[in-house]
């Protein structure tokens, strides 16, 4: 089973559309898989990987590690709002 380290999206800030509606702006979701290229095993965390490298009883080095990163961009707003003449300032 491949282990994935998942960083869920968070709200970075709020923007406002032309009508004044508050719109959240999210970060991207990031899924990272860290693989030992010698064994094919995956790590559950960066710490787990670093412990394997630091362990004097293993021959694992940083060059034996592969990181696959999947970035899932947040949904973008599509379309536009147009102010009615009576709502214009």
User: 2 versus 29: which is more confidently predicted?
Assistant: 29
Domain, as residue range, for 47: 5-77
Residue 87: pLDDT above 60?
no
| Assigned domain for 82 exists | no
Residue 88: pLDDT above 90?
no
Number of domains the chain contains: 1
CA pair distance 15, 25, nearest whole angstrom: 7
| Assigned domain for 73 exists | yes
What is the predicted pLDDT for the residue at 1?
A: 74
| Assigned domain for 83 exists | no
User: 89 versus 29: which is more confidently predicted?
Assistant: 29
Give the chain as a 3 state SS string: CCCCEEECCCEEEEEECCCCCEEEEECCEEEEEEEECCCCCEECCHHHHHHHHHCCCCCCCHHHEEEEEEEECCCCCCCCCCCCHHHCC
| Assigned domain for 89 exists | no
> Could you report the per-residue pLDDT of 36-70, keeping only the tens digit for each?
999 999 999 999 999 999 999 999 999 999 999 99
């Amino acid at each position: 089973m491949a282990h994935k380290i998942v960083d869920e999206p968070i709200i970075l800030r709020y923007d406002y559309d032309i009508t004044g509606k508050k719109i959240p702006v999210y970060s991207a979701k990031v899924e990272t898989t860290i693989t030992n290229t010698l064994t094919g095993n995956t790590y559950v965390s960066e710490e787990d990987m670093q412990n394997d490298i630091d362990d004097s009883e293993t021959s694992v080095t940083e060059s034996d590690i592969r990181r696959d990163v999947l970035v899932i961009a947040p949904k973008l707003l599509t379309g536009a709002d147009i102010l009615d003449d009576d709502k214009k300032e």
